[in-house]
Structure 1
Amino acid sequence: MVLDNRVTCQIPMLYLAPSRYGGLFTSTVVSGFIGATRLTPRLNNTAIPDEHDNEASPFTCYVPFLGSVTKDHRIALCQLPEFDNTGPGGLISEFPSLTNLTDYITGVNGSQHLGTAYIVLNVELGDDQLPEGDNLGSVSSYERGIWQDLEYKDVNLTLSISLCYAAFTTANLPVRMSSPKNRTEPSPKYNSTNQTYRFDDIRALYGQERDKSNMARGLLDLTPIRASWLAQSDELPINDPWIRGLANLGSYHHYALDMEGNIPASLWQSWCLEVNSPNIICPDPMHLRLFQEILNTGGSLAFALQSLISSLASINYYDKLALLDESEKVQQAYFMTSNAPVRHAGFIAVAAVMVFHMLMVIICLATFLAGTKWSILGNTWCSVAQLVASATIDFWDKAANGMPDRSVRELLKADGRNRARVGVSEDDYGAVGLVEK
């Protein structure tokens, strides 16, 4: 299973309704309509506000602003909802082909696999508790990068809003994974001095340091087995990917397949917020610390959200690993018989036999080499003996006792025959034998 975790963020087009308090003067409710203002790759919205594809989506989001013991960015994440099978837009996955729309049409409600959209609300300036009242008063708007700053001068509150689109989808693709060395999943490192966690290895794994290789980041190299990453129709999810479904910020009271939205998640840590704000989701503190550390170390908002998606997908994948792996028959044994060395007697006995065997081999070899002689005549004695002539009878009487080559040469030299050349031919009497040439 391959994850498409791309995220893009841009300054939004806003049509705001009057903002009001969200209760206990610890949060405010921002509502209205929001749409895209930029055309980015694979974003289904257009850059022209009047186009139907860029129809503004309604939203109503709580914005918590309770203080925190740490200097965190007071950011809330609000997922845009779907109404009547009309989504707020999103990134089209890299897996389907854009030339064949049927590849990414769902089988449930006819909507396209366009990812999802999030409103990011950041409290840039504001007290922990607003003054009493039921309205935030007048607002001034300013553009700043990917943020739309809303300044509520009457209550000393500055709220920044950005619009982010995510693909957040998966495909069951055949891939080839490889790595030159073993790798393990990184984990946060605890600093006992200041009692905080550091996420350097995790940030590197997700790609915040772009100059690092896959091996330095701890990643496997993935290559498609086919010619491209495009998925077949049966390899795409028929509806919202189940991993995204587990991360949708939907209402707890609905069980629809589409995303619900309008229930924000607070991406900064505050104990009071968890206690006093039942309408706000408080994620696990480790996810909050990872998100905040990415922003505090220069990471972009899009990369921080992308890292959260990767982390959530990884957790859910391992939770469902037994279902995703191909099932095979397994055998389970609680006890296995094995031999364990207790004493060294057996080892000593085996070693002694091996040493004795090697000594006997060495002694036999030395005795053989010392007591044997080698002759170049070798096995030719039988053939030579059949070629006896009258001139060689005396020689054979002396040499037939198996004398070595050196003795044979000395005997021939003593008789003056060391340079004689003989051959097999017929002699003067018609017999075949050795004849001196």
Structure 2
Amino acid sequence: MYPEHESDEARHPSEHVPSEEKSFLASDKSTLPKRRRSALDAIGPLQLVTLVTSSISLFGSVIFLSALWKTSISVSSGQGAPELWQTLVDRKWIVRAVTISSVVIRISVAVQVGLVTPMIASLLLERAGTRVGGLPMLSVMRSVTSSPHQLIGNSLHQLRRKTSLPFLCLALVALLTSTVLQFASTILLSDFGDQSLQGRAISTNVTFGLNRLNMRSSLILDLNNTDDRAGAIDPYSGVNYWKSSPSTYPRFAEWHQPAGAEEGVADTGLTYRAFLPFSSSDTRRSLRNFTGVATVLDFRTVCVRPNLTIQGAWLVNDDLLALDGFAEWEIEYSMLSHWPKPVPRTNLTSGFITKTFFNCTVPLDSSRIRSMGFWRITLCRTSDATYLKAPQGGLKSLPFLTNSYILINSTGSEEQWIDAGDFTDWKASSNGSWTSLSAERLDSNPSSFSATMCFINPSPSNYDVNIWATTDGIEPSLTWDPTTRQFNTDAVRRLYDSLDPQSTREQRGILTLDNHANWTAQLADPKLNVSTLDFVWAATLRGFETNNADYPTDGGGALLTPWSDRVAQGIHRAHIALFQHVIRSTHNPALALQTLFTVVTQSAYYDFLPQFDVEAPGLYTVSAVANIPYQGTGLTIVVAILAIHALVVGATTTLFLVGTNVSMLGNAWQAVAQVVRLVDRDILEDASLMRDKNVLGILKSSGRAGKVVKVS
């Protein structure tokens, strides 16, 4: 073993090795045979087991955390959850598992850093050399587990030596990574947040309808029989759903097929909507999956451009007009058929028309009430000479239940209509599904009205359904804006797809209804051998005025202006606000009516849902809030630091095995024996009762502090 001196080794070679007289050891040479050091000797059996075990622990922790994060983020996005992960969530063990993994990481890293430090000390002693003053500490470090900060603190004076710098950098990186990983738990938990997840499936019987045998109706029971009437339910009386509104608008499931474009037609396309058979708003909002029986209706609404013939009109007061006449339309529309048959054209060589009579009360401009941009619009029932066609395999269709309406929008005040004169002089025009008549013979008279014929047949039936969603939904309500003095309907319109046609179901807050190739095969009543009353649509019609109780017009209708609630045909202001905002923003009468009829029908359904007495097995899941990882930032940081740590451990171990020859970790006698010959005897004798700084003082005063020695 040959020591080196930085400054004067060439001039004083005798100072490199103490003389025999000064040496602390006897001069006798050892007679023990020398043997070559093996890799196992270098690292040591216990240290090797510790290194392998801690590496496996770190690798296992990373795999576990990565799987936990991947599953959590996947489940947060709506994917299914493995059983083990679900068990951890149910028992609230996710945070505990991460905390335990963090402890394993901290302990394993600390153990490995404790092994890396002696290796670096060995490299400094054998490859770079060290001053005599630091020799004892570095040598002792080889035999015990140490912290890098002790090594760095003892070797700061060697930072200028190029041979020492790489080893000290390894020690510094090991120190930094181990320090940061002490906060692994905090870093990992920064990825956590409360997430709404799909919970476990719940299997139970779900009520979905009213048993026809328990209904109190003259069509079903003998009303003279008090036994039949006692305790029975009459769904056709009670609440007028047109004159009342829901406090919140219930979530539903939907399957939609857009309609093809046709001239003069506004068509929503097939729109199957399933009502959720749960009375709890919380359950509906958090519902993720449901397989069972539910009421499904087709809310497809079609409006076509009619030809108008006005027979008569008279003012019933200063802002209401009674109007009657005929509307005709052609049969070439692909989605319409006729009952019983169309009327041949009289003025063309071919083609057929369908004709219906209307009698409506129409609102006019009023000097007493500000318009605020609202349309003067009314909805009137007409004779049902046309029905909507049902697609092959679609929902059960009863053509005679198709309802026909004429929607009339007017402009002009009482005085202007009086000045407009005979309707035969009015000019006809068309725009989309609307036909307009206007009094254009008078230059400044804005009197006009536009009309469109609309058809809807949401015949309710109960079907086996599968509905699902990847996120929780909403059940919005109307809010009042005191500044504009109007309802804010945006959230409700978004729910019914009448705000932004590009909105996804997730953005709307509804569920997806899976379509069946053959819906008839999914009818629940035949499968369950029960007869339910499909009352919902009929119940809503009972609230629709069959005639004008205040004024002599025969056609049933609903006035859809905010100031019309003072007459019998006025409906609830919330319905009016919703309808007005849809039709004013989209100019699509079919979409506005579809929204209105869905709301009214839902009101009837949920009004009677607590009394449903027919049930069927159902399987459903609702969301549950859990504190889980929803992002990977913290995990990425921890894994990156562990990767750096692994590189340091691997590089240091490789350098230790390749770059050292005599160091053997964990061996104290070897550590002492290899360095004792490098120190003068007088220093060793004096140092036995001195502190390190006193010994360093002696070395400095004797000029030996700068001596650099190596172990070899």
Asked if these proteins are the same fold (TM beyond 0.5), I'd say yes
2: CA distance, partners of 1:227 / 1:9:
27
Do the aligned partners of residues 76 and 239 (structure 1) sit closer, same or farther apart at CA in structure 2, a change above 3 Å counting?
Answer: farther
Counterpart pick for 2:385 among 69, 88, 96: 88
Deviation, 1:33, is 2.2
What amino acid sits opposite 1:50 in the alignment? Answer: P
Counterpart of 2:535 in structure 1 is 242
Q: Is the 8 A contact 2:388 2:456 kept in 1?
A: yes
Q: Is the 8 A contact 2:321 2:361 kept in 1?
A: yes
Indicate whether 1:127 and 2:413 are aligned.
yes
2: CA distance, partners of 1:25 / 1:136:
19
Indicate whether 1:115 and 2:410 are aligned.
no
Do the aligned partners of residues 36 and 240 (structure 1) sit closer, same or farther apart at CA in structure 2, a change above 3 Å counting?
Answer: farther
Deviations 1:78-124 (A, max 9, x none): 1113xxxxx321323458769xxxx756xxxxxx335111101111x
Deviation, 1:311, is 0.8
1: CA distance, partners of 2:327 / 2:532:
25
Counterpart of 2:460 in structure 1 is 170
Do the aligned partners of residues 283 and 250 (structure 1) sit closer, same or farther apart at CA in structure 2, a change above 3 Å counting?
Answer: closer
Indicate whether 1:8 and 2:302 are aligned.
yes
Do the aligned partners of residues 231 and 57 (structure 1) sit closer, same or farther apart at CA in structure 2, a change above 3 Å counting?
Answer: farther
Deviation, 1:293, is 1.0
Counterpart of 1:71 in structure 2 is 373
2: CA distance, partners of 1:283 / 1:95:
36
Deviations 1:283-337 (A, max 9, x none): 1101111111112323511101110011111111110112446459xxxxxxxxx
2: CA distance, partners of 1:232 / 1:177:
14
Deviation, 1:265, is 1.0
Counterpart of 2:438 in structure 1 is 151
Higher helix fraction (1 or 2): 2
Deviations 1:347-400 (A, max 9, x none): xxxxxxxxxxxxxxxxxxxxxxxxxxxxxxxxxxxxxxxxxxxxxxxxxxxxxx
Counterpart pick for 2:608 among 302, 306, 320: 320
Do the aligned partners of residues 126 and 36 (structure 1) sit closer, same or farther apart at CA in structure 2, a change above 3 Å counting?
Answer: same
What amino acid sits opposite 1:15 in the alignment? Answer: T
1: CA distance, partners of 2:533 / 2:448:
35
Counterpart of 1:42 in structure 2 is 335
After TM superposition, the structure 1 = structure 2 runs for residues 223-372 of structure 1, keeping only pairs within 5 Å, are: 223-224=514-515, 227-230=517-520, 242-248=535-541, 249-251=544-546, 262-270=555-563, 273-275=564-566, 277-278=567-568, 281-324=569-612, 326=614
Q: Is the 8 A contact 2:548 2:554 kept in 1?
A: no
Deviation, 1:66, is 4.2
What amino acid sits opposite 1:218 in the alignment? Answer: G
Q: Is the 8 A contact 1:21 1:135 kept in 2?
A: no
Q: Is the 8 A contact 1:95 1:171 kept in 2?
A: no
2: CA distance, partners of 1:4 / 1:327:
23
Deviation, 1:207, is 1.4
Partner secondary structure for residue 386 of structure 2: coil
Q: Is the 8 A contact 1:12 1:148 kept in 2?
A: yes
Partner secondary structure for residue 228 of structure 1: coil
Q: Is the 8 A contact 1:25 1:132 kept in 2?
A: no
Counterpart pick for 1:219 among 510, 513, 520: 510
Do the aligned partners of residues 235 and 134 (structure 1) sit closer, same or farther apart at CA in structure 2, a change above 3 Å counting?
Answer: farther
What amino acid sits opposite 1:116 in the alignment? Answer: N
2: CA distance, partners of 1:49 / 1:65:
33
Partner secondary structure for residue 90 of structure 1: strand
Indicate whether 1:184 and 2:474 are aligned.
yes
Partner secondary structure for residue 317 of structure 2: coil
Q: Is the 8 A contact 1:10 1:38 kept in 2?
A: no
Counterpart pick for 2:359 among 60, 66, 73: 60
Do the aligned partners of residues 202 and 13 (structure 1) sit closer, same or farther apart at CA in structure 2, a change above 3 Å counting?
Answer: same
Deviations 1:45-101 (A, max 9, x none): 4998627984412222221214343220111111113xxxxx321323458769xxx
Stretches of structure 1 lacking an aligned partner (at least 5 in a row)? 82-86, 106-111, 255-259, 329-437
Counterpart of 2:635 in structure 1 is none
Deviation, 1:261, is 7.2
Do the aligned partners of residues 192 and 66 (structure 1) sit closer, same or farther apart at CA in structure 2, a change above 3 Å counting?
Answer: closer
Task: Give the RMSD, CA atoms, in angstroms.
Answer: 3.7
Q: Is the 8 A contact 2:394 2:518 kept in 1?
A: no
1: CA distance, partners of 2:533 / 2:615:
25
Question: How many residue pairs were aligned?
Answer: 299
Q: Is the 8 A contact 1:93 1:169 kept in 2?
A: no
Counterpart of 2:217 in structure 1 is none
Do the aligned partners of residues 116 and 267 (structure 1) sit closer, same or farther apart at CA in structure 2, a change above 3 Å counting?
Answer: same
Between 50-59 and 153-162, report the one with greater CA deviation. Answer: 50-59
Deviation, 1:39, is 3.2
Quick one: percent identity of the two aligned structures?
21
Do the aligned partners of residues 231 and 72 (structure 1) sit closer, same or farther apart at CA in structure 2, a change above 3 Å counting?
Answer: farther
Indicate whether 1:161 and 2:451 are aligned.
yes
Give the TM-score normalised by the residue count of structure 1. Answer: 0.59
Counterpart of 1:26 in structure 2 is 319
